[in-house]
């Protein structure tokens, strides 16, 4: 269930090249550590780069994550200092195997996990209900108190 890259064929060649580039960078970053500056409006900041998870609705009842793009012109406000050091993880499988999920369905998610205490700061991707109802997820879970 690879939801990244399920593209609208109406996109220009340049747009498709940018999407492909961003996806390659994201896939190549799995396992790497980053300074995390928070998340808002389906965007999150790792090191000096702002990323946006893009939803691609199938119809009025279903949706999935289409792709994740670098947003060099983002106007979203993030913390000035990193709030955590995180690692990027990819999880494809059943939710009961994923501590960041709340059910037992198939999922295709990306996870930002705190390297210090394993807290899941952000889960984004495609979740699933009853194995036929996919939905876009962008779940930001800040800690009750950020360590100073």
- Report pLDDT digits (tens) over 65-75: 788 888 988 89
- Report pLDDT digits (tens) over 38-77: 999 999 999 999 999 988 766 666 677 788 888 988 899 9
Nearby residues of 138 by Cβ (< 8 Å), 6 or more positions away: 39, 42, 53, 122, 123, 124
pTM: 0.77
Nearby residues of 47 by Cβ (< 8 Å), 6 or more positions away: 34, 35
């Amino acid at each position: 269930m690879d939801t990244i890259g399920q593209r609208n064929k109406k996109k220009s060649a340049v747009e498709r090249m940018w999407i492909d580039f961003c996806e390659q960078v994201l896939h190549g970053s799995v396992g790497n550590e980053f300074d995390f500056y928070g998340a808002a409006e389906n965007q999150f900041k790792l090191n000096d780069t702002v990323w946006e998870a893009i939803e691609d609705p199938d119809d009025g009842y279903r949706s999935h994550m289409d792709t994740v793009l670098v947003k060099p012109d983002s106007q979203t406000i993030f913390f000035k200092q990193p709030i955590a050091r995180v690692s990027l993880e990819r999880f494809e499988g059943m939710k009961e195997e994923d501590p960041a999920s709340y059910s037992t369905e198939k999922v295709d998610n990306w996870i930002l996990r705190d390297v210090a205490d394993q807290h899941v700061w952000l889960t984004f991707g495609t979740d699933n209900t009853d194995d036929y109802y996919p939905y876009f997820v962008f779940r930001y879970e800040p800690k009750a108190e950020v360590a100073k």
